[in-house]
Amino acid sequence: MDTEYNGNIQHPSASVMGKVSGDNVSVDEYGFPASDDGKSAGSHAVFVKSLKGTDKDNYKLEGSSTNYTEYSIDPKPMTITADDKEKAIDDEEDPELTASVDGNIETEIFVKDEDYELSCEDHPHPEVEDEYDIYVKVKGTSALAKNYQITTKNGTLTIVDNKPTITPDSFTITYGDDYPELTATTKNLDDGFNLVKGTDFTLDRVTGDDYGEYKISVTLIEGSPNVQHYGKNNIRLKEGLFTINQYSVPIT
């Protein structure tokens, strides 16, 4: 008999074979070897321990070493799925990692840090906007896990930047080309409080006309009503990159 773990004692049924016709005798109790609980996932052995019925005293059981039957109980499939989380870059506290467990027996509760662990090992500090895996690891010391065939599914930690942000656009030209006008992209702004180049901020790049890379920086115009609305310390200023590539000269 092959069956799936359900938390209860399970075993094949037995019957009294070769009894005298018409006798009232049947199997009463079953027994297991001393180290066998009869319910855990894995291999088991069961034997008939006693008989019942009005004619039972006319029958003798063979020893448990000869009347036992071997069988197995399969692990019960279940899944532990890490819940998706979101965090703003400037939040000091990381969100609590949680997971959902599906397929376990109702009375057997899998507990975080006791039966499984959650981690986000790739999550960098300082933080940047991105998505990172939340990993699930079943603990080898879990008393419950041995009876389950456990599938783990990662969750996602999404780092978002909710601050008003100005990011200079990056440009690439070839040496000798005309210089493009510097521009920037803004995000996370309140309605009616746009941040505009020349009115609310300026863009400047490191001076240089030769082949190479030059940083583009943002400077806020502090008297701007829009800057005052957000507060200059609450506006995130990023850097762009102005790249001048070499000019390819044909040799003839």
Tens digits of per-residue pLDDT, 30-45?
A: 999 888 999 999 999 9
Per DSSP, the residues of the chain read -EEE--SS---------SPPTT---EEEEEE--TT--S-SSEEEEEEEEEEESTTGGG--PPPHHHH-EEEEEEPEEEEEEEPPEEEETT-SSPPPP-EEEESS-TT----BTTTEEEE-TT--SS--SEEEEEEEEE-TT-TTGGGEEEEEE-EEEEEE--S-EEEEPPEEEETTSPPPPP-EEEESPPTT----BTTTEEEEE----SSEEEEEEEEE-TT-HHHHHH-GGGSEE--EEEEEEPPPPP--
Tens digits of per-residue pLDDT, 186-222?
A: 999 999 999 999 999 999 999 999 999 999 999 999 8
Q: What is the pLDDT of residue 44?
A: 93
Examine the pLDDT at 126 and tell me if it is beyond 80.
Answer: no
Tens digits of per-residue pLDDT, 155-179?
A: 999 999 888 999 999 999 999 999 9
Q: What is the pLDDT of residue 64?
A: 57
Q: How confident is the model at residue 113 (pLDDT cuts 50, 70, 90)?
A: very high
Look up the pTM and report it.
0.69
Q: How confident is the model at residue 102 (pLDDT cuts 50, 70, 90)?
A: very high
Instruction: Provide the percentage of residues in the chain whose pLDDT is more than 70.
Output: 98
